[in-house]
């Protein structure tokens, strides 16, 4: 049994994050950090992996790891089953938060905002660049529903493979993308003695306000 993790301590010493080196808006800084993470983070770490937090109708939070698939000035895009727990939660409470952590760079980014479905055309375009197995899996898996065992999932996949034996699978109506439209983006850079740098961007009146937060 783990009794205490007090001795599992790491001091962060790589570099700092100053206002002088930070832009007035957050997207260019995120792209810079993400580009650096692509070069430094090694398997099994995936630089585009992020935790996604949603809330259910009782206000209870739920969190899981997903992969970011697109970023533009509209927001951060990911894909999933619309009928999954997170899909149902976002349909009722259209707000979410995501966090990226890049341990090699001693950095994390927190993003909060409103979520909306991307267009059918965007979902369809991404669906068709996925590997065939992933496309079939989107049809086969009743995501978040209770199933008897692994064998049931394999039977569902076999039936799906038979269904699309003579044709390419098309994008399921229950599967597609969401875009998180950020209202807040916080950049965290680890520093010694837990005195980390935190630059917080808030969307205000169509622009961005940048503030420093105490660690």
Domains of the chain: 19-128+173-212 (2.30.110.10), 131-170 (no CATH)
Q: Kindly state the percentage of the chain with pLDDT values over 90.
A: 89
Residues 146-193 pLDDT 10s = 999 999 999 999 999 999 999 999 999 999 999 999 999 999 999 999
Pull the structure tokens for residue 124.
Answer: 């369809």
Pull the structure tokens for residue 181.
Answer: 């439209």
Torsion sign across C-alpha atoms 123, 128, 134, 138: positive
3-state DSSP percent of the chain in helix, strand and coil, to 5: 30, 35, 35
Per-residue CA distances from 143 to 28, 83, 85, 96, 164 (Å): 35, 7, 8, 19, 20
| Preceding amide of 146 cis, omega within 30 | no
The mean pLDDT value of the chain amounts to 94
pLDDT band of 14, cuts 50, 70, 90: confident
Residues tagged active-site: 194
Element (H, E) at 60: none
Residues flagged as binding site for FMN: 64-69, 79-80, 86, 108, 143-144, 188, 198
pLDDT of amino acid 181 = 98
Q: Kindly state the percentage of the chain with pLDDT values over 70.
A: 96
Among the listed ranges 113-117, 151-155, 205-209, 210-214, which one has the minimum average pLDDT value?
A: 205-209
Residues 37-78 pLDDT 10s = 999 987 778 999 999 999 999 999 999 999 999 999 999 999
Can you tell me the distance from the alpha carbon of 167 to that of 164, in angstroms, rounded to the nearest whole number? 5
pLDDT band of 10, cuts 50, 70, 90: confident
pLDDT of amino acid 33 = 97
pTM: 0.92
How many angstroms separate the first and last alpha carbons of the chain?
Answer: 31
Q: Note the helical H segments in the chain.
A: 26-40, 85-92, 120-127, 132-140, 150-163
11 pLDDT above the threshold of 90:
no
Residues flagged as binding site: 9-12, 64-69, 79-80, 86, 108, 126, 130, 134, 143-144, 188, 194-196, 198
Torsion sign across C-alpha atoms 151, 167, 176, 36: positive
Residues flagged as binding site for substrate: 9-12, 69, 126, 130, 134, 194-196
The residue ranking higher by pLDDT, 4 or 123, is 123
82 pLDDT above the threshold of 90:
yes
For residue 80, count CB atoms less than 10 angstroms from its CB and return exposed for 0-12, middle for 13-18, buried for 19 or more: buried
């Amino acid at each position: 049994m783990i009794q205490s993790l007090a001795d599992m301590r790491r001091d962060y010493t790589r570099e700092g994050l100053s206002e002088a080196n930070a832009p007035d808006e957050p997207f260019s800084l995120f792209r810079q950090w993400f580009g650096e993470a692509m070069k430094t983070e090694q398997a099994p770490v995936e630089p585009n992996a992020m935790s996604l937090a949603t809330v259910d109708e009782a206000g209870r939070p739920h969190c899981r790891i997903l992969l970011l698939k697109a970023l533009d000035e509209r927001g951060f895009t990911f894909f999933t089953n619309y009928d999954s727990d997170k899909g149902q939660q976002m349909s009722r409470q259209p707000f979410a938060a995501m966090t990226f952590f890049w341990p090699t760079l001693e950095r994390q980014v927190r993003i909060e905002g409103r979520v909306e479905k991307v267009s059918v055309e965007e979902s369809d375009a991404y669906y068709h660049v996925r590997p065939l197995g992933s496309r079939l899996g989107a049809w086969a898996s009743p995501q978040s529903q209770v199933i008897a065992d692994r064998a049931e999932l394999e039977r569902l996949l076999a039936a799906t493979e038979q269904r699309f034996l003579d044709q390419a699978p098309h994008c399921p109506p229950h599967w597609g993308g969401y875009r998180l439209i950020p209202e807040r983006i916080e950049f965290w850079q680890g520093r010694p003695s837990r005195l980390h740098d935190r630059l917080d961007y808030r969307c205000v009146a169509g622009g961005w306000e940048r503030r420093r937060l105490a660690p």
